[in-house]
């Protein structure tokens, strides 16, 4: 796990974070930080660029996933809009569902999330078929 400090967003955006320690929690943390500084569209561009640098540094550029990135950013944005000036720790406590990587299965079928199209471009959510 990475010990997040105030300079970590800049390090993330510069591609200087070690990908080996960048768990799902750290993804949410960086999204939280960038969304607190930028509009959704600006944050999406900044966050996606940072993730792409991270994936490239890990030697796995194909690991970047556009649909998962935008969908999680939208969920985090929605929760931030409902909360007032939360610290990240308070945000984590208030919205534990965001720390479950499987959360998107509520809206996406596995075949959609596993598709090349979903990796390359944002796919609108649809209820998963039962």
| Residue 83 near residue 35 (C-beta atoms within 8 A) | no
Specify if 25 maps to a domain.
yes
Specify if 70 maps to a domain.
yes
Specify if 111 maps to a domain.
no
Specify if 127 maps to a domain.
no
- Could you read off the pLDDT of 57-76 as tens digits, one per residue? 999 999 999 999 999 999 99
**Digitized pLDDT (tens) for each residue of the chain, 130 residues in all:** 344 455 899 999 998 999 998 999 999 999 999 999 999 999 999 999 999 999 999 999 999 999 999 999 999 999 999 887 789 999 999 999 999 999 999 999 999 999 999 999 999 988 655 5
Residues 6+ apart with CB under 8 A from 26: 1, 2, 4, 17
Specify if 41 maps to a domain.
yes
Q: Residue 71 belongs to what domain range?
A: 8-101
Specify if 72 maps to a domain.
yes
Specify if 42 maps to a domain.
yes
| Residue 73 near residue 128 (C-beta atoms within 8 A) | no
CA 46 to CA 26: how far, in whole Å? 15
The tally of domains found in the chain comes to 1
Specify if 86 maps to a domain.
yes
């Amino acid at each position: 796990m990475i010990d997040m400090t105030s300079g970590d967003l800049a390090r993330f955006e510069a591609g200087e974070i070690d990908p080996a320690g960048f768990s799902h929690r750290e993804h949410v943390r960086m999204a939280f930080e960038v969304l607190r500084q930028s509009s959704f569209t600006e944050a999406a561009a900044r966050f996606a660029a940072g993730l792409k640098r991270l994936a490239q540094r890990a030697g796995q550029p194909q690991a970047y996933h556009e649909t998962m990135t935008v969908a999680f950013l939208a969920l985090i944005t929605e929760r931030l809009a409902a909360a007032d000036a939360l610290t990240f720790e308070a945000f984590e406590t208030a919205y534990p569902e965001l720390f479950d990587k499987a959360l998107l299965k509520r809206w996406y079928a596995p075949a959609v999330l596993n598709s090349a199209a979903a990796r390359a471009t944002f796919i609108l959510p649809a209820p998963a078929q039962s």
